[in-house]
């Protein structure tokens, strides 16, 4: 896009991936929101920090859809990349029941068991050394463990699959727009994607003759599975590791920090667990995980908030910023576990809204409950570190007990 094409639009030059923005991106995001409903970033893309504009864009996938970065990240045949409803829904429906209420409830004993074992190790380390980093001990490995279990991955292979999923999630850590041929994060993630592809193809072949109740078998033996290639089945499986791993880990990390930093709320939640589900949603609104959701303009004549957008234009929806939009939320920067509940955009909206939201919510509830039970009084013991802005979350959370 040329500068003249955007001459009348509000414009800013902001590197959202600059390391100094990461610990506290909220002032910069507020500046973008204040600049207008849709703003040209001199870095080469459009962006919006407004809840209502994000919704408007997510509501028209035929005009502004998954072309561009999403399709490159996940693969064109993954349903997260497909805007055509019939094919999208046929693929998504294969797993709707596994990720629905009953499917998720059936997983609770497994998740409780894994969280329990992780918390045993956390308590042991706290006894031995006085401090523990809850990211590698709990929040980082749990979601990949759960999805690997759902896919029927053996315990022996699970750590390898988790490592691939972690590397894959770093794809956008080098910033936007991506220099696909030279960005080291993108290249490392491509290697991890290939490793996972080879592994998942083996699983697909094995499950043809050995069906089970796992996600691989459900795809292989579904009506749509018999019509698509192994490669297409593979990318649809792989997207689950991509979409559900780092996102959920980061939410869990933010929960651990929010509970530590807000002792009054922590004590209220300990005393009344019925407040917990809304409090966890509040963490997600207040510390959104998916900060950057990319879209590409596919049709001619598209206008958003009065701005004409040409075919091929990239648009970044700043979903974390939308969670703090004062047009939608009163006192948006305050963490308030008793605020009036209002649906947020952290799990997306419309055709591509998150398939794994109920699963992530169950994992968050299990983790938060275990922490309230077993670490009634604790604090963050060292400065926090944060990773990639696209999927923002703490990369380490060292904690210690508060005695007495
Ligand atoms: C806190 C945790 C999570 C967050 C914040 C999150 C966020 C999102 C968002 C924003 C979208 C919309 C993507 C778009 O419109 O382009 C999405 C879609 C999706 N998510 Fe999640 N997600 C989470 C957990 C999970 C989990 C645990 C899974 C599965 C294991 C998962 C699987 C998916 C899939 C498959 C889609 C694509 C849905 C479609 O295209 O129909 N997510 N998620």
Mean pLDDT lowest among 137-151, 172-186, 313-327: 172-186
In ligand 1, the atom with minimum distance to the C-alpha of 294 is 16
Residues comprising the chain, all counted: 404
> Residue 172's pLDDT band (boundaries 50, 70, 90)?
confident
What pLDDT, on a 0 to 100 scale, did the predictor assign at position 4?
39
Q: What is the pLDDT of residue 177?
A: 87
The mean pLDDT value for 188-212 works out to: 97
Q: What is the mean pLDDT of residues 346-356?
A: 98
Beta carbons within 10 angstroms of residue 56's beta carbon: 17
For 161, other C-beta atoms within 10 Å of its C-beta total 22
Mean pLDDT computed over 160-183: 90
CA of 381 to the centre of ligand 1 (A): 31
Peptide bond into 177 cis (omega under 30): yes
Q: What mean pLDDT do residues 178-205 have?
A: 96
**Total number of domains constituting the chain:** 1
- How high is the pLDDT of residue 2? 39
The parent domain of residue 248 ranges over 4-401
**CA atoms of 13 and 40, how far apart (whole Å):** 8
Residue-wise pLDDT tens digits, 50-89: 999 999 999 999 999 999 899 999 999 999 999 999 999 9
CB 230 within 8 A of CB 372: no
Distance, CA of 394 to CA of 262 (rounded, Å): 17
* CA distances, 80 to each of 85, 108, 242, 346, 388 (Å): 11, 26, 11, 16, 21
pLDDT of residue 3: 43
CATH of the domain at 259: 1.10.630.10
> What average pLDDT does range 389-403 have in this prediction?
96
Q: In what order do the strands lie in the sheet with 314-318?
A: 11-12, 39-41, 45-48, 314-318, 292-297, 64-65
Query: So what's the pLDDT on residue 142?
Result: 96
Count CB atoms within 10 A of the CB of residue 389.
Answer: 21
pLDDT above 70 covers a percentage of the chain that reads 98
Q: From CA 295, how far away is CA 63, in angstroms rounded?
A: 10
In the reported structure, the alpha carbon of residue 290 is separated from the centroid of ligand 1 by a whole-number distance in angstroms of: 9
What is the pLDDT of the chain when averaged over all its residues? Answer: 96
Cα-to-chain-centroid distance, residue 232: 22
Question: What's the average model confidence in pLDDT over 334-357?
Answer: 97
Q: H helices of 67-130, where?
A: 69-74, 85-96, 101-129
Contact 111, 369 (CB under 8 A): no
pLDDT of 7 reads 67
Mean pLDDT check: name the lowest of 27-31, 177-181, 292-296, 365-369: 177-181
**Residue 93 and residue 361 in contact, taking contact as beta carbons nearer than 8 Å:** no
| 132, two tokens | 């523990």
Stretch 97-104: mean pLDDT: 98
Mean pLDDT for 82-102 is: 98
Residue-wise pLDDT tens digits, 106-128? 999 999 999 999 999 999 999 99
Which residues have CB under 8 Å from 256's CB, separation 6+?
Answer: 134, 138, 139, 367, 371, 394, 397, 399
Which residues are CB-neighbours of 124 under 8 A, at least 6 positions away?
Answer: none
Helix (H) or strand (E) holding 158: helix 158-169
Token pair 């005393």: residue:
271
* Residue bearing the CA closest to ligand 1, atom 16: 352
Give the global pTM: 0.97
Q: Residue 348 Cα, ligand 1 centroid: separation in angstroms?
A: 7
pLDDT at 404 over 90: no
Provide the token pair at 19.
Answer: 């390391």
Q: Which two tokens stand for residue 75?
A: 């693969």
Q: Whose CA is nearest to atom 15 of ligand 1?
A: 352
Angle between helices 230-261 and 263-271 (to 10 degrees): 110
Pocket of ligand 1 (CB under 6 A): 70, 79-80, 92, 143, 147, 239-240, 243-244, 247-248, 251, 289-290, 293, 346-348, 352, 354-356, 359-360
Q: Where are the alpha helices (DSSP H) in 171-301?
A: 184-209, 215-220, 230-261, 263-271, 276-286
234-238: average pLDDT: 98
pLDDT, residue 200, reads 98
- Distance (angstroms) between ligand 1 centre and the Cα of 382 equals 31
Q: Which atom of ligand 1 is nearest to the CA of 360?
A: 27
Residue from 247, 322, 361 to probe ligand 1 pocket by mutation (most atoms less than 8 Å from CB): 247
């Amino acid at each position: 896009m040329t500068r003249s094409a955007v001459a009348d639009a509000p414009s800013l030059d902001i590197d959202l991936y600059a390391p100094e923005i990461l610990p506290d991106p909220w002032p910069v995001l507020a500046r973008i929101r204040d600049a207008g409903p849709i703003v040209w970033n001199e870095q080469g893309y459009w962006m919006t920090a407004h809840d209502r504009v994000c919704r408007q864009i997510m509501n028209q996938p035929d005009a502004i859809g998954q072309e561009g970065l999403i399709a490159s990240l996940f693969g064109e045949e993954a349903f997260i990349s497909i805007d055509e409803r019939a094919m999208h829904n046929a693929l998504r429906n294969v797993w709707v029941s596994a990720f629905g209420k009953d499917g998720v409830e059936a997983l609770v004993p497994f998740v409780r068991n894994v969280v329990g074992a992780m918390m045993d190790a956390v308590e042991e380390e706290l006894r031995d050394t006085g401090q523990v980093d809850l990211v590698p001990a709990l929040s980082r490995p749990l979601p990949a463990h759960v999805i690997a279990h759902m896919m029927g991955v053996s315990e022996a292979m699970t750590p390898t699959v988790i490592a691939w999923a972690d590397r894959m999630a770093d794809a956008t850590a080098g910033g936007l727009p991506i220099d696909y041929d030279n960005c080291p994060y993108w290249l490392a993630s491509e290697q991890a994607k290939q490793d996972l592809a080879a592994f998942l193809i083996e699983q697909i072949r094995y499950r043809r003759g050995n069906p089970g109740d796992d996600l691989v078998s459900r795809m292989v033996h579904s009506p749509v599975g018999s019509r698509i290639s192994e490669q297409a089945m593979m990318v649809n499986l792989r997207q689950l590791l991509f979409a559900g791993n780092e996102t959920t880990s980061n939410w869990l990390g933010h929960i651990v920090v929010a509970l530590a930093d807000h002792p009054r709320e922590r004590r209220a939640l300990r005393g009344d667990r019925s407040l917990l589900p809304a409090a966890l949603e509040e963490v997600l609104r207040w510390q959104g995980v998916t900060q950057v959701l990319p879209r590409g303009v596919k049709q001619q004549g598209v206008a958003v908030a009065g701005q004409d957008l040409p075919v091929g234009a990239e648009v970044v929806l700043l979903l974390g910023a939308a969670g703090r939009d004062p047009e939608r939320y009163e006192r948006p920067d305050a963490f308030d576990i008793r605020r009036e509940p209002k649906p947020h955009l952290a799990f997306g909206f419309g055709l591509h809204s998150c398939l794994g939201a109920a699963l992530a919510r169950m994992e968050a509830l299990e983790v938060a409950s275990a922490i309230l039970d077993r670490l009634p009084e604790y604090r963050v013991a060292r400065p926090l570190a944060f990773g990639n802005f696209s999927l923002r979350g703490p990369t380490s959370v060292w904690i210690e007990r508060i005695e007495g």
